[in-house]
Amino acid sequence: MLMLLLLLVPALVAGGTECNPRDFGADSVVCVCTASDCDLQGVIPVPGDGLFTTVTSSRDGLRFAQNTSPLESTPNPDADVSLILDHNTEYQTIFGFGGAFTDSTGINIATLPLEAQDFLIRSYFSPDGIEYNLCRLPMAGSDFSIRPYSYDDVEGDVDLVYFNLTIEDYQYKLPYIKQAQQVAHRELLLFGSPWSPPAWMKESGTFNGSGSILKEMWEPYANYFIKFLQAYEAEGAPMWGVTMQNEPMTGLEDWAWNTCYWSPEDTRDWIKTYLGPAMESAGYGDVQLMIDDHNRDTIPAYVLPCLDDAGCYQYVDGTALHWYADWWTSPDSMDETHNLYPEKYLLYTESCDGWNSGPDERVILGSWVRAENYAFDVLEDLNHWATGWVDWNMALSMGGGPNWANNYVDSPIIINTDAGEFYKQPMFYALGHFSKFIPPGSIRMASSVSGPGSGDVIAVAVHNIPSQTDVVIILNRGDSGKSVSVDSGSGVEFMNFAMPAKSITTVLFHEH
């Protein structure tokens, strides 16, 4: 199947192809993709000297609309919004952006005609698309599976003799990972996250519910991680990183789907005593190890015991975060955590919309509100030390599943199996403004926003050293258009342009 799909891939699209819009009654539209037609953003180069390019998506239906204009020697004195870039003040290096290869994502993709499957993978990963490079995958089952399972469900198999990848890996994860690797021009960075150990390793004897892993299983469970790393490496999909446990605090409750409680102190002791040494001795000392993998209202408290302990600190590379508490938690907690441990990065590893909506609104086809939620959160997180942002499921059904625990949510791509087509949500384009134009290795630089219309605006600026290019991404949450003036940082080159109401604009130009 893979060779057939590769033969279907045409040459790179130079200028992009048009969205085929469809209105489902929300505040914006989706772009419809079929086996024969799908919009692709194309290769969008940085313009030559003396020019800048804007790329805009909006509630009113723009999707990566491009415009190239000359730089000007003076700012617009009547601009609603003024931005000034500061190349002398730099912050974190960006790892990238992406989504998750869940079972549900693969199950849905597999229902499409092969040509439509190819369009979907290209849309996410190729230079024609939005160029995802950083992707998560559950280590065995999650709620976005059709059953709870682990890689060793043989009771008492502490030597992991029966450890094996499952049909889900071979049918719904690995094939699409390999397709993504084939079409991507950027290196695909994969990281695994466990939702639960094998049920027989836990106090409860179940995948869900509440409780911790049995302490006598700490060593076998560390070896379980090694087996996972070895298995995916053998399949041609080596891991860039792992997180220790998805949302470890959920195991304090009678949780409806796969979980396991890890206290901060047990996290510290397991990493320094078993997991860290096991990864080093097996040759995986360079695989990134991230802790927490929960909402930002857990930091810095959750990471303090581990990162204040030299034995644990030496094995931990960063802190993984989810967005679900961002609405009521200040990003100051990210600044505080960074300032305590500046050598350890912060990375957003899971986000989705619809999770807290009513049953009839888990999926809203064409919602610009959700695209704006995504863009605002990415911008806020980048401005508070996040090194990247990873979405949850890359594709779900019309009902936001499948999900064995009925925890349905929305996704940037929704698949209509009956029609053999898929819909690119406004969220897809919102994320694409970051993933396509902020390549890994870019460095965030200081920027300031002012002006009478700046209350509706949030922005971030990054610098890409190899190409000597700058990128500014601006979100206008206002119900009216804005005139914008960007000072490139030189004080003699300005970019003056208009932003529509409810829109995202990426600005591209060469640094001088």
Identify whether residues 43 and 130 lie together within a single domain: no
Identify whether residues 78 and 218 lie together within a single domain: no
Predicted confidence band of residue 13 (pLDDT cuts 50, 70, 90): low
Identify whether residues 160 and 56 lie together within a single domain: no
The answer to whether residue 434 scores a pLDDT higher than 60 is: yes
Identify whether residues 60 and 107 lie together within a single domain: no
The answer to whether residue 14 scores a pLDDT higher than 60 is: no
CATH number at residue 493: 2.60.40.1180
15 is a domain residue: no
Predicted confidence band of residue 12 (pLDDT cuts 50, 70, 90): low
| Cα–Cα dist 466/270, whole Å | 40
- Which of 7-11, 253-257, 369-373 shows the lowest mean pLDDT across its residues? 7-11
Q: What's the whole-model pTM score?
A: 0.96
| Cβ(433)–Cβ(375) below 8 Å | yes
The pLDDT tens digits for 385-412 are 999 999 999 999 999 999 999 999 999 9
Q: Taking the mean position of all CA atoms in its chain, how far away is CA 457?
A: 22
- State the residue range of the domain holding 40: 34-93+442-510
| Cα–Cα dist 414/399, whole Å | 9
71 is a domain residue: yes
DSSP string for residues in 390-450: EEEES-EETTS---TT------SEEEETTTTEEEE-HHHHHHHHHHTTS-TT-EEEEEEEE
Predicted confidence band of residue 15 (pLDDT cuts 50, 70, 90): low
Q: Which of 405, 423, 463 has the alpha carbon at shortest distance from 439?
A: 463
Of 435, 464, 497, at which residue does a domain stop? 435
Q: SS in 3 state form for 88-117? A: EEEEEECCEEEEECCHHHHHHHCCCCHHHH
Identify whether residues 223 and 351 lie together within a single domain: yes
The answer to whether residue 423 scores a pLDDT higher than 90 is: yes
Q: Taking the mean position of all CA atoms in its chain, how far away is CA 182?
A: 20
Predicted confidence band of residue 465 (pLDDT cuts 50, 70, 90): confident
61 is a domain residue: yes
Identify whether residues 309 and 202 lie together within a single domain: yes
Q: Which of 475, 321, 300, 434 has the alpha carbon at shortest distance from 386?
A: 321
Identify whether residues 298 and 179 lie together within a single domain: yes
**How far apart, in Å, do the first and last CA atoms of the chain sit?**
47
- Which of 12-21, 66-75, 239-248 shows the lowest mean pLDDT across its residues? 12-21
383 is a domain residue: yes
80 is a domain residue: yes
Of 435, 453, 470, at which residue does a domain stop? 435
Structure-block tokens of residue 312:
């644990």
The answer to whether residue 195 scores a pLDDT higher than 90 is: yes
Identify whether residues 407 and 456 lie together within a single domain: no
**Can you give the pLDDT at residue 8?**
41
Identify whether residues 108 and 183 lie together within a single domain: yes
Chain mean pLDDT for the chain: 96
Q: How many domains does the chain have?
A: 2
**Nearest 5°: CA angle at 346, between 344 and 349?**
135
Taking the CB of residue 2, how many other CB atoms lie within 10 A of it?
11
Q: What is the share, in percent, of the chain residues with pLDDT greater than 70?
A: 97
Predicted confidence band of residue 6 (pLDDT cuts 50, 70, 90): very low
- Which of 146-155, 172-181, 298-307, 460-469 shows the lowest mean pLDDT across its residues? 460-469
Collapsed DSSP state (helix, strand, coil) of residue 167: helix
20 is a domain residue: no
Torsion of the alpha carbons at 135, 136, 142 and 147, rounded to the nearest 10: 50
Q: Which residue has the tokens 């076998």?
A: 220
Identify whether residues 75 and 111 lie together within a single domain: no
The pLDDT tens digits for 93-128 are 999 999 999 999 999 999 999 999 999 999 999 999
Q: Taking the mean position of all CA atoms in its chain, how far away is CA 282?
A: 28
Q: Phi and psi of 43, rounded to 5°?
A: -80, 120
**Can you give the pLDDT at residue 415?**
98
The pLDDT tens digits for 362-391 are 999 999 999 999 999 999 999 999 999 999
Identify whether residues 40 and 175 lie together within a single domain: no
11 is a domain residue: no
CATH number at residue 237: 3.20.20.80
Of 412, 435, 458, at which residue does a domain stop? 435
Identify whether residues 333 and 430 lie together within a single domain: yes
The answer to whether residue 2 scores a pLDDT higher than 60 is: no
Work out the average pLDDT over 49-57: 96
> Which residues have a catalytic role annotated?
247, 350
Residue type, 385: W
The answer to whether residue 1 scores a pLDDT higher than 70 is: no
The pLDDT tens digits for 127-163 are 999 999 999 999 999 999 999 999 999 999 999 999 9
**Can you give the pLDDT at residue 467?**
77
275 is a domain residue: yes
Torsion of the alpha carbons at 166, 168, 171 and 173, rounded to the nearest 10: -110
